[in-house]
Amino acid sequence: MALLMHPANNGVLQAEGHTLVRFCWQHIEEVSKVSTITVTVNGKTYTNDVEPRTLLVHYLREHLNLTGTHIGCDTSQCGACVVHVNGQSVKSCTMLAVQADGASVTTIEGIAPAGELHPLQEGFWECHGLQCGYCTPGMIMAAADLLQHNPSPSDDEIRHGLEGNLCRCTGYHNIVRAVQYAAAKMRGEEVSA
Amino acid sequence: MIPASFAYHAPQSVAEAVSLLEQHGDEAKILAGGHSLLPALKLRLSQPGVLIDISRIGELQGIHVGSSIEIGAGATYAAVAGHAGVRSGCAVLAECVEQIGDIQVRNRGTVGGALAHADPAADLPAVLLALGGSVSAQGPGGSRTIAADDLFVEMLTTALEPNEVVTKVTVPALGKGEGAAYSKLKHPASRYAIVGVAAYVKLAADGSVAAARIAVTGAGPKAERQSAAEAALVGSAGDDAAVAAAAAAAGDDMEYLGDIHASEDYRRAMVKVYTRRAVAAALSRARA
């Protein structure tokens, strides 16, 4: 569906000639609305006052200073912001912090004990699964969710499982190898890069 | 802060959600998985004063499989795709939802939310139409059931009233001699349907096609049944010639939308291609 939004449209959103929604840019008086949430992040429980419109990724990065979770496309497509909420991988740019009230969240900072690397982190290191590193936290969190459901994935299953994560540097070949490295290590097998 | 400011409510029951809708009227929007609403809020295309988050309502989560399959409106795509009873009773539904977005989207997006939003490129509307399913909704006056054929009114618009909450989605469990399939041309990044076709067939004892329902999504402003294609199949032997006739008849009598991804003409051509694939797959399952 093509959404054409342009100031010349006078605030009318069009899809190929069909008027969808009328909207206006006028400033809306911001009403102070605050919710108190309690979230366990990487095993530590936090209670914070947040505006309900706060996205989970902004809560993690700006309230808790956990900046390992990245913001890429901001449109639920690139996967740089993937974290686990109650054990399931989600895109934290498309979830409100208030929706995580009472939940247990794991970010890249919490995937392994301090000072140690998770097998996936080790795999990305050993197999050169990253170049700039921007997509890496999301890739690792998505791959961790994949491996908890499928400890012995085929290369195709890894590619399918990571379809919600985009890398714009290396391509995906070494990322698949890194996940295979981690899968083997987590199965207790001898590994080499 | 990317979305505009709003007040947030997380009711524990459907009755409480309906009462909040009554109280806040046009200002309020229902939030379920949020994978259609939050992107709209972030673009400020939608600026509701109040969000009513129904994702904590336990009664909306269940999936029950019997002679029909009842899916709580709040069930996620991942929950439906991973449900053994759905896979055995109505495989096309699992096949459809596991093609939506990616696993992170499927972990959040809900069946009820997708149908209430009625995005023209959503997958489920076509499958619900082909299966002859329905949605149940609760409003201040009680509950009612809306047949799929009556649900989709126009782009992003359904027959649901503003003060109603979708509570469940019902589809039949398919039996012997019945088959259904969903075939889609997906956008490579978003996985939305550029064209998606769902087909259902029921065979008579002699192997001829006793009933058929075919629906298209993605190509136009709303998901639509394809009555000419259905008529080409019913009464036929369901052979290659009948499948070709159904494909040729598909998509001639509907409104199209073109965009940067695919023109109207391309979508019209793809409706025929994907109708052929979906009908052939449905027939093959009905014979299995």
**Topology, domain B178-287:** Enolase-like; domain 1 (3.30.390)
Proportion of chain A in helix, strand, coil states, percent, rounded to 5: 35, 20, 50
Task: Locate the chain A residue with the closest alpha carbon to B157.
Answer: A20
Task: Locate the chain B residue with the closest alpha carbon to A77.
Answer: B190
Determine the pLDDT at residue B190: 81
Q: Please write the tens of the pLDDT for every residue from A22-75.
A: 343 333 444 458 999 999 999 999 999 999 999 999 999 999 999 999 999 988
| Residue B66 neighbours by CB distance under 10 Å | 9
Which of B247, B68, B244, B36 is closest to B156 using CA atoms? B36
Q: How many residues does chain B have?
A: 288
Determine the pLDDT at residue A2: 38
C-beta atoms of B5 and A13 within 8 A:
no
Q: Ramachandran region of residue B233, left (φ > 0), alpha (ψ -120 to 50) or beta?
A: alpha
Determine the pLDDT at residue B1: 80
Determine the pLDDT at residue A12: 42
Cα gap A62→A77, rounded to integer Å: 22
Determine the pLDDT at residue A182: 98
**Topology, domain B59-172:** 3.30.465
Angle at which helix A136-149 crosses helix A173-186, to 10 degrees, equals 50
Determine the pLDDT at residue A193: 76
Task: Locate the chain A residue with the closest alpha carbon to B102.
Answer: A164
> Per-residue pLDDT for A163 more than 70?
yes
Residue pair A166/A109 in contact (Cβ under 8 Å)? The answer is no
- Per the listing, tokens 């939050």 go with B38
| Strand ranges of the sheet holding B142-147, from the earlier edge strand across to the other edge | B63-65, B68-72, B165-172, B134-139, B142-147
Determine the pLDDT at residue B105: 96
How many angstroms away from the CA of B15 is the closest CA of chain A?
20
Determine the pLDDT at residue B234: 98
B7-53 carries CATH number 3.40.50.1110: no
Task: Measure CA A51 to chain center.
Answer: 21
- Which residues have CB under 8 Å from B186's CB, separation 6+? B99, B192, B193, B194
Mutate to test the interface with A, among B103, B117, B259 (most CBs of A within 10 A): B103
Cα gap B112→B172, rounded to integer Å: 17
How many angstroms away from the CA of A118 is the closest CA of chain B?
21
Geometric angle at alpha carbon B121, from B115 and B127, rounded to 5°: 55
E strands present in A66-162: 82-85, 88-91, 104-106
> Per-residue pLDDT for A19 more than 60?
no
How many angstroms away from the CA of B26 is the closest CA of chain A?
15
Which of B71, B185, B193 is closest to B131 using CA atoms? B71
- Per the listing, tokens 């309502």 go with B57
Determine the pLDDT at residue A110: 98
How many angstroms away from the CA of A53 is the closest CA of chain B?
6
The full set of domain ranges for chain B reads: 7-53, 59-172, 178-287
- Per the listing, tokens 């929950």 go with B79
- Interface confidence, given as ipTM, is 0.93
Determine the pLDDT at residue A13: 45
C-beta atoms of A90 and B45 within 8 A:
no
The predicted model scores a pTM of 0.91
Q: Please write the tens of the pLDDT for every residue from B107-133.
A: 999 999 999 999 999 999 999 999 999
Q: Is A71 helix (H, G, I), strand (E, B) or coil?
A: coil
Chain A: residues touching B (Cβ < 8 Å): 1-2, 5, 13, 15-16, 18, 20-21, 23, 28, 30-31, 33, 35, 51-55, 58, 74-77, 79, 82, 88-91, 94-96, 98-99, 101, 142, 145-146, 161, 163-165
Amino acid identity, position B169: V
| Strand ranges of the sheet holding A88-91, from the earlier edge strand across to the other edge | A44-50, A35-41, A104-106, A82-85, A88-91
Residue pair B4/B43 in contact (Cβ under 8 Å)? The answer is no
Ordered mean pLDDT values, 10 residues apiece, chain B (288 residues) = 94 98 95 96 95 97 96 98 96 96 97 97 97 98 98 96 97 97 91 95 98 97 97 98 98 94 97 98 97
Determine the pLDDT at residue A27: 39
Cα gap A33→A189, rounded to integer Å: 53
Tell me the longest C-alpha to C-alpha distance in chain A: 63
- Per the listing, tokens 């136009």 go with B220
Task: Locate the chain A residue with the closest alpha carbon to B51.
Answer: A52
Tell me the longest C-alpha to C-alpha distance in chain B: 63
